[in-house]
Amino acid sequence: MIKLYNTATRTREDFIPNHPDIVKMYTCGPTVYHFAHIGNLRSYIMEDILEKSLRYHGYNVKRVMNITDVGHLASDADTGEDKMLKGAKRENKSVMEIAKFYTDAFFEDCRKLNIKRPDVVEPATNCIDDYIHIIETLIEKGYAYAAGGNIYFDVSKLKQYYIFNDFSEDDLEVGVREGVTEDSNKKNKNDFVLWFTKSKFEDQALKWDSPWGVGYPGWHIECSGISMKHLGEDLDIHCGGIDNAFPHHTNEIAQSEAYLGHKWCNYWMHVHHLNTNSGKMSKSKGEFLTVSLLEEKGYDPLVYRLFCLQSHYRKNLVFSWENLDNAVVTYNKLIAKIAALKPGEGEVDGAAFDELKAKFLEALGNDLNTALAVTAVYDVLKAKTNDTTKLAVLDDFDKVLGLDLIKKAEAKRKELAAAAPKTGEFTVICESGEPDAEVEAQIRARQDAKKAKNFAEADRIRDELKAKGVEIIDIAGGAKYKRL
Ligand code: AMP
Ligand code: ZN
């Protein structure tokens, strides 16, 4: 049984899907106006872990993700510049070129981080007719109105609206908070745009005909439309970063349930933010942290994946290069330990396998306790069972962890085998102090003397080195030396 924290009820609940044979999962996808930063990717790593955990627990999953290539304005509250237009202007390209480039870049980052591609990936611009149909129905049902050329959702028509925020309705009344510019077309402060027309955004690059004039959809409607198009009228799990909870997900629930006339999604999962020491992660200020930047600095992207797995998704996580360096040490040690296991040693012990797997399943089922799931890897290494069983269990865990444990360990084994001395070769190892070419040449000369049975010469060289403060220790296939 999987337990998941549900933001909608603010409790940890047993996960029970609507249909026993399939879990319907929806993920808010990226706004493709720039590269994803590693904060965005923390959300996608954890959502990938959720999907893989569900599959590991035996569920079939159908997962859908949108690509926001239209409609997301600089502010989630429908104000400011259009993000796609902003990207196109910045790079002197068309909106479609920007969308294609950054969609490809996003999936390339995902590939490097072992994030599985969702079963359905749908660009928002593919589903305009679906949004128009939903908006028409909302108008017919009295949930939406036209004002100033745009179509708005009327939140006052709902019995319940504020599902994901802790403010009371009074706190959010129009004009109560200072410094908030209000859209004078809105009847209520939290009303949101379903459809923009060109009367408001003359320079909008992508626009479509609609019953309300030429224009384009609001951001929130795309997720409701795409989810219903591919997953039907009910949804098991909807996920996104915590900033999506309000207003985006609140508005998705409002419009979807008003349209459907019944409950839409049962479980809401939100990944908390990755921050830097100076605060919020940004694409414009300070260091723009991307997967490419990690690679440029010599980090394996999977080290970042491990870094994310070491903390719980419902806690903020602080990124620093020092923290990432610690993850490098952990990852390298882990791979070295797995590389030391000998493949093909004995048969898989089924009972031991099941026992180790049970612990891992329990950790994941406990609201995705990935830190504990990583600890389960160490339990496997310490377990009293043969290496074949250990390797089989680790391979199985990696279906969820996605750390390439077996592949990297195999590569490490090959690397060690290549570096190991060939039969008959004489290796000289410096055990303390700096390696010294002259000393090493003398040690080799001593070896040659021994081979030629000139033991007097061999002893003379040993004594000469001793006088220099260097001690030689004979080992299999060579000699070690240390400074006394
Ligand atoms: P966007 O491309 O801005 O639509 O964001 C893509 C995803 O990243 C959304 O699910 C956001 O909620 C999430 N997100 C944004 N900033 C962060 C962050 N600093 N840490 C984790 N997730 C984030
Ligand atoms: Zn969304």
Sorted by sequence, the CB contacts under 8 Å of residue 115 that are 6+ apart come out as 41, 44, 45, 48, 109, 402
With tokens 């590569």, the residue in question is 411
Between β-strands 215-217 and 192-197, what pairing exists: parallel, antiparallel or unpaired? Answer: antiparallel
> Length of the chain, please?
484
Average pLDDT over residues 88-99: 93
Task: Give the atom of ligand 1 at the shortest distance from the alpha carbon of 317.
Answer: 20
Place 202 in a pLDDT band, splitting at 50, 70 and 90.
low
Ligand 1 binding pocket mutation candidate from 7, 40, 65 (most atoms within 8 A of CB): 40
Taking the CA atoms of 318, 321, 327 and 331 in sequence, report the sign of the dihedral they define: positive
Tell me the two tokens of residue 122.
């749908």
The DSSP annotation for 192-221 comes to EEEEEETTT-TT-S--B--TT-SEEE-HHH
Tokens at 166, concatenated:
């802790």
Share the mean pLDDT of the chain: 92
Could you give the C-alpha distances from 469 to 432, 447, 454, 459, 464, in angstroms and in order?
Answer: 12, 19, 23, 15, 9
Q: Is 238 in the pocket of ligand 1 (CB under 6 A)?
A: no
How far apart, in whole angstroms, are the C-alpha atoms of residue 427 and residue 1? 55
Percent of the chain with pLDDT over 70: 95
Three-class SS of residue 265? strand
Most confident of 278-287, 388-397, 432-441: 388-397
**Which band of pLDDT confidence, cut at 50, 70 and 90, is reported for residue 200?**
low
pTM: 0.86
**Beta bridge pairs of residue 425:** none
Q: How confident is the model at residue 175 (pLDDT cuts 50, 70, 90)?
A: very low
Q: What is the pLDDT of residues 57-90, one digit of tens each?
A: 999 999 999 999 987 887 777 777 788 888 998 9
Instruction: Determine contact, residues 339/416, Cβ cutoff 8 Å.
Output: yes
Side-chain-facing half-sphere of 431: CA atoms under 13 Å? 13
* pLDDT single digits (tens) 367-392: 999 999 999 999 999 999 999 999 99
Residue-wise pLDDT tens digits, 125-162: 999 999 999 999 999 999 999 998 899 999 999 998 87
pLDDT band at 220 (very low <50, low <70, confident <90, very high): very high
- Residue 368's alpha-carbon distances to 49, 57, 113, 313, in angstroms, are 8, 12, 18, 8
The whole-angstrom separation of Cα 197 and Cα 217 is: 9
- Cα separation, 323 vs 468, in Å, equals 43
Q: Does residue 271 have its Cβ closer than 6 Å to ligand 1?
A: yes
Lowest mean pLDDT among 123-137, 156-170, 222-236, 462-476: 156-170
Q: What span, in angstroms and rounded, lies between the C-alpha atoms of 468 and 439?
A: 9
Categorize the per-residue pLDDT at 174 as very low, low, confident or very high, splitting at 50, 70 and 90. Answer: very low
Q: What is the structure's pLDDT at 199?
A: 61
Cα separation of 440 and 428, whole Å? 7
Query: Given a cut of 50, is residue 1 above it in pLDDT?
Result: yes
Confidence of residue 203 (pLDDT cuts 50, 70, 90): low
Cα 41 to middle of ligand 1, angstroms: 7
For 263-275, write each residue's pLDDT tens digit: 999 999 999 999 9
> Ligand 1 within 6 A of 237 CB?
no
Q: Is the CB of 256 under 6 A from ligand 1?
A: no
Q: How many angstroms separate the CA atoms of 200 and 88, rounded?
A: 19
Q: Are 318 and 310 in contact (CB under 8 A)?
A: no
Give Cα 55 to chain centroid, integer Å.
17
Neighbours of ion ligand 2 (CB under 5 A): 28, 223
Distance 475 CA to ligand 2 centre (A): 64
Select the more confidently predicted residue: 77 or 418: 418
Three-class DSSP category at 263: coil
For residue 171, name the pLDDT band (cuts at 50, 70, 90). very low
Q: Given its phi and psi angles, is residue 433 left (phi above 0), alpha (psi -120 to 50 degrees) or beta?
A: left
DSSP annotation of 229 reads H
CA of 282 to the centre of ligand 1 (A): 10
The closest alpha carbon to 191, from 104, 273, 240, 254, belongs to: 254
The full set of domain ranges for the chain reads 3-271, 293-415, 419-483
User: 293-415: which CATH number, 1.10.287, 1.20.1250, 3.30.70, 1.20.120?
Assistant: 1.20.120
262 C-beta neighbours (distance < 10 Å), count: 9
Rounded-to-integer distance, Cα 433 and Cα 423, Å:
27
pLDDT band at 283 (very low <50, low <70, confident <90, very high): confident
Question: What's the rounded Cα separation, in Å, for the pair 272 and 161?
Answer: 22
Q: Which helix (H) or strand (E) holds 445?
A: helix 437-451
Percent of the chain with pLDDT strictly greater than 90: 76
Report the CATH superfamily, name and number, of domain 3-271: HUPs (3.40.50.620)
Q: Is the pLDDT of residue 176 over 70?
A: no
- What pLDDT is attached to residue 177? 40
* Cα–Cα distance, 374 to 359 (Å, whole number): 11
My answer on whether omega of the bond before 247 falls inside 30° of 0, hence cis, is yes
Residue 256 CA, ligand 2 centroid: distance in Å: 12
Ligand 1 near 65 CB (within 6 A): no
Cβ 218 under 6 angstroms from ligand 1: no
- Pocket test of ligand 1: the residue of 86, 243, 273 to mutate, having most ligand atoms within 8 Å of its CB, is 243
Predicted local distance difference test score (pLDDT) of residue 80:
77
Among 165-174, 453-462, 475-484, the least confident range: 165-174
